[in-house]
Amino acid sequence: MDQSTHYRKPGRLTRSVLNPTIVFLTRLGISIWGSRTLEVRGRKTGEPRRTPVNLLDIDGRHYLVAPRGQAQWVRNVRADGGRLALLLGRHRGEWTAHELSDADKPPVLRAYLRRWKMEVGVFFDGVTADSDQQDLARIAPDHPVFLLSEAVGAPGAGGTAAESGNR
C-alpha cells in the first residue's frame, strides 16, 4: 500500500494543553465524544507510547483515523504488527489494527468528519462530511484508517461492548 508522507504537526496549544487534558480525563474514565488513550510500543525504543485518539464506531465496528496524517502513533502501530491498547480509566482493551486501503476509506472518513467536524475539520483540506466521493477519495491517501479487531488471546481482549464503544 502506498503511504503518503502527509503530516500536520500539532501546535503548542495542542501539545501543551489539549492533549494532556484529554489524556488526564481518559485516565479518570471520562471519554469526550469517544476519546481514548492509545498505547502502542515505540518502534525505536520499545517503550509504551501514549496519545489521545478518537474511537469511531460504525455499526458495531471500531476504527481509528489519523486526522493529522502519518503521525508517530501510525508508524508505531504499523511497526508493531497492528498491536495496540485503548485505555479508558481502568479499562484496557487489547486490539489488532488492520489498515484500510485508500479505496475503502471514504465512508469511514465521511463518518469521522460528521462526528468530529469541529475538532478535526481543519486537517482535511476543506473536505467535509458533505463533500462528494471524489474529494474523499482524493484525501484518503493522506489519512491512515485502521479497522480494529479484538486481539486474540490477550488478557481482557477488547473489553466489554460498553468499555470499547463510544461514551
Three-state secondary structure of the chain: CCCCCCECCCCHHHHHHHHHHHHHHHHCCCCCCCEEEEEEECCCCCCEEEEEEEEEEECCEEEEECCCECCHHHHHHHHCCCEEEEEECCEEEEEEEEECCHHHCHHHHHHHHHHCHHHHHHHHCCCCCCCCHHHHHHHHHHCCEEEEEECCCCCCCCCCHHHHCCC
- Residue 167, pLDDT score: 33
Is 167 within a domain?
Answer: no
pLDDT tens digits, 3-36: 677 766 666 665 666 767 777 777 777 777 778 9
Distance, CA of 90 to chain centre: 20
Q: Give the number of residues written for the chain.
A: 167
Average pLDDT over residues 114-119: 83
Whether 47 is covered by a domain: the verdict is: yes
CA 49 from chain centre, in angstroms, equals: 14
Residue 53, pLDDT above cutoff 90:
yes
Kindly state whether residue 152 falls inside one of the protein's structural domains: yes
| Pairing state between β 48-58 and 61-65 | antiparallel
Residue 63 falls within a domain, yes or no? yes
The answer to whether residue 2 is domain-embedded is no
Q: What is the pLDDT of residue 154?
A: 60
Whether 41 contacts 83, CB under 8 Å: yes
**What's the pLDDT at 19?**
67
Q: What is the mean pLDDT of residues 55-64?
A: 96
User: Containing domain of residue 86, as a range?
Assistant: 12-162
pTM of the model: 0.80
Q: Which residue is listed with cell 473536505?
A: 127
Banded model confidence at residue 86, pLDDT cuts 50, 70, 90: very high
CATH code for position 114:
2.30.110.10
Q: Structural domain tally of the chain?
A: 1
Identity of the residue numbered 164: S
All three cell numbers of 53 = 485518539
Determine, yes or no, domain membership for 5: no
Residue 45 lies in a domain: yes
**Does residue 129 lie in a domain region?**
yes
For the ranges 7-21, 32-46, 55-69, the one whose mean pLDDT is highest:
55-69
